[in-house]
Amino acid sequence: MYYGESGGVNEAFSDIMGEAAEDYLLQSDFVTGNTIMKFLPYMREFERPENDNISISKVEDMLEHTDPHFSSGIYRRVWWVVVKDGSMSIRDAAAVFLYANRMYWHSTASFYDCSCGTLKAALDLGHDIAPFRMAFKDVGLEDCDVNSHVFGFNNNDTRFGLPVSASVNPVFKMETPVWADKLIVDVSSSSEKREVENDYGAEILITIMMGGWESTHDKCTNAVVVAQGLNHLELENVADQEYFFKLSVSNDTVILPEVYNFTRMSIESGVSKVDLTIGYTCQKNFATEDWETNFFYSRDCGTEFDYY
């Protein structure tokens, strides 16, 4: 809706997509309307929106009747921080904002609503959310907790065709039951990719963490890495825990047999498509005094259950 905070995001999104298009064709200059204004050097800018003496770049300066053209300065500043201070490519940042607009922003979304949707979009696309957190903090937006948005695996689930690259590092989680014994994570080249390109091996670094997946300056909430390995990883004594899993490309390379000779566009772009399976084995002879726990152990692990 073209008023209030949703109107500001509306205008900012237009400017952001304009800069993304400009960067695709030429190079982004991070100002809107450069070289086409009759009396001004440009219409609006991203780094310091307030330089036009009317736009705002802090949430605290938002008033009830601020014109959307000028309240758009908040998300224009967000864009600047994500790309410049957060060192995120314009292409990746644009993909996140576009996905957020399609999937999470709604017609009357506030600045805060849109920040939460943007973080969710970044997670969905496998991008680091740190640049976005930095940007939202810069403009004065309250931090949004998206921990519960991380996709959770059930035992021996497989997700197919996941993209992994230098900038795309998908994150997942699993909560293990009290009867879990060993955690097993396996990554292989996507079956679809093998059929199309004869790709039989991708070096994917698996990182298993506890306490979250983000690296922050707060030592109390920092993720703790408990294991790392290439393509296949096993972890002992995993009962009753919450684990996070991050995939990244090792050296940004894909290993292929030298005998094959075919177009390697996906390799040149540094993107690997992989299948990911996460599961756990069950403790043998597990039993508790809780009837319900024993029942679910039996069902999960395929053991006999004594109803009496």
pLDDT in tens, 86-140: 999 999 999 999 999 999 999 999 999 999 999 999 999 999 999 999 999 999 9
4-146: CATH class: mainly alpha
| Predicted local distance difference test score (pLDDT) of residue 258 | 33
Dist CA 119 CA 130 (whole Å): 9
- Domains of the chain: which residue ranges? 4-146, 150-282
| Predicted local distance difference test score (pLDDT) of residue 120 | 97
| Predicted local distance difference test score (pLDDT) of residue 304 | 75
| Predicted local distance difference test score (pLDDT) of residue 252 | 45
| Predicted local distance difference test score (pLDDT) of residue 72 | 97
Structure tokens at 226: 């408990």
Superfamily of domain covering 150-282: Mitogen Ypm (2.60.120.510)
For the chain, residues with pLDDT lower than 50 are 194-200, 252-269
Task: Read off the pTM.
Answer: 0.85
| Predicted local distance difference test score (pLDDT) of residue 250 | 80
| Predicted local distance difference test score (pLDDT) of residue 35 | 83
| Predicted local distance difference test score (pLDDT) of residue 257 | 35
State the catalytic residue, choosing from 69, 127, 149, 232. 69
| Predicted local distance difference test score (pLDDT) of residue 266 | 34
| Predicted local distance difference test score (pLDDT) of residue 291 | 87
- What is the residue-wise DSSP string for 149-201? GSEEPPTTEEEEEEEE-SS---EEEEEPPTTEEEEEEEEEE-HHHHHHH----
Catalytic residue check, 149: no
Dist CA 13 CA 97 (whole Å): 8
